[in-house]
Amino acid sequence: MIVFPAVDIQKGQAVRLRQGLAEEATVFADNPVDAAIRWEREGARWLHVVDLDGAFAGDARSFDIVRAIASAVTIPIQLGGGIRNATIAARYLEAGITRLIIGTMALEEPSAFAELCQAFPGAIGVSLDAVEGKLKTRGWLGASDCTLDDVLPRLAHDGAAFIIYTDISRDGMQKGANLDVLRSLSRKSPIPLIAAGGIATLADIQALYPLSVSGALCGVISGRALYEGTLSLKEAMAWIDQQEKKADVWYFAFSSFFAPSLWVRRRAPTLRKSLRKERRTRWPAT
Ligand code: AMZ
């Protein structure tokens, strides 16, 4: 499971909003490039970058800043906000962004979204940003009648490489993640799932970790908590690494020692399937 530090860009600065409201911004760095470099130095394996101005305006408002971030760090970046057509998507990929996150277009223009997934296989994911079960678009100001269950099968079929679920009411509020929705989503999702919204402490990450063993959860996004220090990136990553190492030991023991025994051999297909699943839901290190 990966911890994605968030770098959200608004008016040229690195900010975090509360519940997605543009007027509820806290500035955490005057230059988003500095924030990105900081997270890389602290050991981040991926960055989650959002062009908030782009999401509100529907275009690549902060393209130059995003390009500067991509040149300044060596870790892979996933980027969302304002990617509403294939031309913008291609420009970002050329600028060195590894994965693109699509919100509005995935809900409002299904066929264009499917074409985008086909044009850039493995590089396109979707953000499903919800309030009381209903998905939002256009900087979270646009309402849609869609629910997670309505769109998930279609998005996976269209070729989305991953989904990010954000509980908007928890975003920036330090309340903990929405475990009920994430538990159900991690069971249902045929593609890797990343959780966002409310993840504020190591305990929140520990509560989510089992969903990466039993289901599709492969990452968590945290912003305000990392900037304000209620969550330590190093501590969180060390804890996750420790859990995954234990899982590796079990996998190794299973394949090399237990598997030959008669009892295990009879149950081998089920055991192997659940252990493989645990390995499969890990986010690629790229
Ligand atoms: O905070 C907000 N108001 C907000 C936000 N963080 N609005 C949109 N976004 C993010 C989504 C996703 O990563 O979580 O922007 C991206 C979607 O943008 P678009 O332009 O594709 O709808």
pLDDT at 14 over 80: yes
Are 280 and 244 in contact by the 8 Å Cβ rule? The answer is no
Q: Is 121 within a domain?
A: yes
* Phi, psi for 107 (deg, rounded to 5): -90, -35
Note the pLDDT tens digit of each residue in 16-32: 999 999 999 999 999 99
Q: Is 212 within a domain?
A: yes
| pTM summary value | 0.91
Pocket test for ligand 1, best of 140, 166, 194 (most atoms within 8 A of CB): 140
Note the pLDDT tens digit of each residue in 60-81: 999 999 999 999 999 999 999 9
Q: Give exposure, 40-65, as e/b (b: 16+ Cβ within 10 Å).
A: beeebbbbbbbbbbbbbbbbbbbbeb
- Strands 142-147 and 99-102, how do they pair? unpaired
pLDDT band at 276 (very low <50, low <70, confident <90, very high): low
Nearest residue (by CA) to ligand 1, atom 14, is: 127
Burial of 165: CB neighbours in 10 Å, binned 0-12, 13-18, 19+? buried
Give the CA count within 13 Å in the CB-facing half-sphere of 216.
Answer: 21
- Residue 166 bridge partners (DSSP): 129, 196
Whether 20 lines ligand 1, by a CB cut-off of 6 Å, is yes
As for how many domains the chain has, the answer is: 1
Task: Classify 22 as helix, strand or coil.
Answer: strand
Q: Is 261 within a domain?
A: no
Q: Is 273 within a domain?
A: no
Closest by CA to 139, choosing from 3, 24, 5, 4, is: 24
Name the one residue in this structure whose structure tokens are 């990010």: 164
Q: What percent of the chain has pLDDT over 90?
A: 85
Look over the chain and give the mean of its residue pLDDT values, rounded to a whole number.
Answer: 93
Note the pLDDT tens digit of each residue in 95-135: 999 999 999 999 999 999 999 999 999 999 999 999 999 99
Give the CA count within 13 Å in the CB-facing half-sphere of 244.
Answer: 20
pLDDT at 286 over 70: no
pLDDT at 265 over 80: no
Are 60 and 82 in contact by the 8 Å Cβ rule? The answer is yes
Note down the domain range covering 33. 2-233
Q: Is 243 within a domain?
A: no
Give residue 269's pLDDT: 67
Cα distance between residue 253 and residue 257, in whole Å: 5
Whether 197 lines ligand 1, by a CB cut-off of 6 Å, is no
Q: Is 59 within a domain?
A: yes
Give residue 263's pLDDT: 67
- Ligand 1 centroid to Cα of residue 52, in Å, is 6
- Ligand 1 centroid to Cα of residue 38, in Å, is 23
CA–CA–CA angle 13, 18, 22 (5° rounding): 55
For 83-216, strand residue ranges (E) read 99-102, 124-131, 134-137, 142-147, 163-167, 193-196
Give residue 89's pLDDT: 98
Nearest residue (by CA) to ligand 1, atom 8, is: 139
Cα distance between residue 266 and residue 78, in whole Å: 42
Name the one residue in this structure whose structure tokens are 């997934």: 117
Q: Is 283 within a domain?
A: no
CA–CA–CA angle 151, 153, 156 (5° rounding): 105
150 catalytic per annotation: no
Q: At 33, which helix (H) or strand (E)?
A: helix 32-41
Of 51, 53, 129, 204, the catalytic one is: 129
User: For residue 229, which amino acid is it?
Assistant: G
pLDDT band at 54 (very low <50, low <70, confident <90, very high): very high
Q: What is the CATH number of the domain that holds 175?
A: 3.20.20.70
Q: What DSSP string runs through 204-238?
A: HHHHHTHHHHHSSEEEEEESHHHHHTSS-HHHHHH
Cα distance between residue 158 and residue 175, in whole Å: 33
Q: Is 255 within a domain?
A: no
Q: How many CB atoms neighbour CB 95 within 10 A?
A: 18
